[in-house]
Structure 1
Amino acid sequence: MQAPLGIVATLCAALLLGCNGGIPDARADVESGRAIYAKECAQCHGINGDGAGAASLGLGVVPPDLVGLTGRNDGVFPREFVRRFVLGLLEKEDPDAAMPEFGTVGLQHVYPDGGAGAEVLHTDIAALLDYLETIQQ
């Protein structure tokens, strides 16, 4: 028995609309990540992520260019590596490096009155990574 064409078309349209439901959330995550980047990262890594932030002048080293992460990794954004690095879960070559370990210090500029719990921090870091992925060149 065949279903009428109208019912099939309506069902397909409903399913496609359901698939689009995640797009606004993804945009919101990127915008949240952009705000976190502006407060926590831009001072050193630059407004555009090119490593030329005002605070980088006194560091003695140039912070990494964040817009070229994908280009330096065979066209793949190294999301898990960046997440672990930002949270301070990787051993640093220079233990005295200026890069904060956000897993320890929290997002001090985003939450100046005290950090949010670890669950929120991981959500915020995920949003930051979503944003960083969008600025890759």
Structure 2
Amino acid sequence: MSMGLRVLTVALAATLPAQAQEADPRAGRDFFQTYCWQCHGKSGAGTGPMAEMLAIAPPDLTTLSDRNGGTFPTEQTLMQIDGRSPLLAHGGDMPIFGAFLEADQNVPLKVESGQPVLVSPELANLISYLQSLQGE
């Protein structure tokens, strides 16, 4: 293969979309049980030991789909978790563990519109776990 063809091949490969990494709800559960349960409760029902100290009660994360017409609100959920949409109860983004959701490489996560949104693998895993809680 000529040098010019190799450069063109590498350049074309760089423009292709990254392979979607399959989110792991078990890894998301581990993240949740480390960083989120204190407010949202072990089951995600909003009954964690810190919930009573908050001015705004944490939502029941097991009913997100029910409260959104039967569809899991992926985009709204990820935007609240990663700080793109501020949470009044947190004074903005989720400051306690926000740094743990940062990554050098992001993965695409498809939202309701069908468009991919780039998020950290940890956030993709957490969203996958929250989806698994629906209807429990």
Q: TM-score band, normalised by the shorter chain?
A: 0.5 to 0.7
Report SS of the residue matched to 2:134. Answer: coil
Against the structure 1 CA distance between its residues 49 and 86, is the aligned structure 2 distance closer, same or farther, given a 3 Å change threshold?
same
| CA drift at 1:135 | 0.5
Question: Whose strand proportion is higher, 1 or 2?
Answer: 2
8 Å Cα contact 1:86/1:100 also seen in 2: no
Aligned pairs, number: 102
Compute the TM-score of the two structures, normalised by the length of structure 1: 0.64
Counterpart CA distance in 2 for 1:102 and 1:50 is 18
**Equivalences for residues 43-62 of structure 1 within 5 A:** 43-62=38-57
Residue 101 in 1 paired to residue 96 in 2? no
Moved over 6 A (4+): none
- Determine what percentage of the aligned residue pairs are the same residue: 30
| CA drift at 1:66 | 0.3
| CA drift at 1:39 | 0.8
**Residue 131 of structure 1: aligned partner:** 129
Report SS of the residue matched to 1:132. Answer: helix
8 Å Cα contact 1:50/1:64 also seen in 2: yes
Report SS of the residue matched to 1:85. Answer: helix
Counterpart CA distance in 1 for 2:28 and 2:91 is 18
Unpaired runs of 5+ in structure 2?
1-20, 107-118
AA aligned opposite 1:81: Q
Against the structure 1 CA distance between its residues 101 and 133, is the aligned structure 2 distance closer, same or farther, given a 3 Å change threshold?
same
Unpaired runs of 5+ in structure 1?
1-24, 108-114
**Residue 115 of structure 2: aligned partner:** none
Larger radius of gyration: 1
Compute the TM-score of the two structures, normalised by the length of structure 2: 0.65
Map Cα deviations across residues 66-104 of structure 1 (whole Å, 9 max, x no partner).
Answer: 000000011100011101110110144x3xx23772588
